[in-house]
Amino acid sequence: MEPIRRKLIELIHYPNATWNSTARAMKKELLLEQLPESSLTGNMQTFESPLHDAPTSILQTERISRLLLQYAANKISIITIFDPEYPYWLKNIYQPPWALFAKGDLSLLQKEPKLAVVGSRQATSYGKNAIRLLFPSLIEKGVVIVSGLAKGIDTSAHVCAMGNGGRTIAVIAGGLYHVYPEENRQLFGEMAKSQLVLSEFPPDTKPARWHFPMRNRIISGLCKGTFIVEAKQKSGSLITANYAVNEGREVFALPGSIFNPFSNGTNDFIREGAKLVTKAEDILEEMSFYK
């Protein structure tokens, strides 16, 4: 394993590591590589503090070695931002994840086009039926469905994709050892075998509230388009859609009844410029440019 890749893996396993703390440490590490040999000693203290001192670093190295063996035994791969397997579209977002912990078919990372499908956890029969109507044509054209393994629309998206013989990726909050929600444990197991499950957090990380909006940027970042099926005016699905807008990606929305609060968010997004979707072709004619 290359030293710089190993250093990154160590850093993201530090307790309370953040994207910014990892960025600062990696910047120092990369600068150290460029310094002449005689300069290393004088700069090493700057790098080691405050993230770790020498004894802690040795313990961390030993701990990482044990974890990597454990991950391999559980068929968990780590794709860092330095690896060629790291998805192109994801690398080009603001604050891309430093690494992805992955379980399943890694080839899905390179398959295009990908479509993020998000929506309410309290999905209605209208939203579920829309997925059943639209997905067969999307799957037939090779569209990979990306969602978040949550209740409601996410679950329908994953299940319908697999039911139609398609490919699907789940991006979860927390680590791969902690499935949330518990009711989707069986779905997680199926996807970890035949599809792909991803997280930016080490596997033993328990999901926290702030993980979910962070997860949303990965869902949209993997894809050239995001499809909002159902959403209230203030919801996590709209956060995902806003990430897509900010990254210059396509945004699609399913129109809904003015009497349905779960359509207020999608209708608002259509008003603001999202493409209205009533048939699969509305998505395919945009996505076909990104294969």
Residue found under tokens 């690896």: 83
Mean pLDDT over all residues of the chain?
A: 88
DSSP H or E segment with residue 220: helix 211-221
- Could you give the CA distance from residue 256 to residue 248 in angstroms, rounded to a whole number? 25
Q: What is the pLDDT of residues 202-259, one digit of tens each?
A: 999 999 998 999 999 999 999 999 999 999 887 778 888 889 988 989 999 999 999 9
Query: How many CB atoms are closer than 10 A to CB 61?
Result: 12
Q: What is the pLDDT of residues 155-199, one digit of tens each?
A: 999 999 999 999 999 999 999 999 999 999 999 999 999 999 999
The ranges assigned to domains in the chain are 3-73, 106-290
Residues with Cβ < 8 Å from 266, sequence gap 6 or more? 228, 229, 230, 231, 253, 254, 255, 256, 274
Average pLDDT over residues 24-47: 51
Residues in the chain: 291
**pLDDT higher than threshold 80 for residue 59:** no
Average pLDDT over residues 133-144: 97
Amino acid at 156: S
Q: Is domain 106-290 given the CATH code 3.40.50.720 in the classification?
A: no
Copy the structure tokens of residue 133: 């109507």
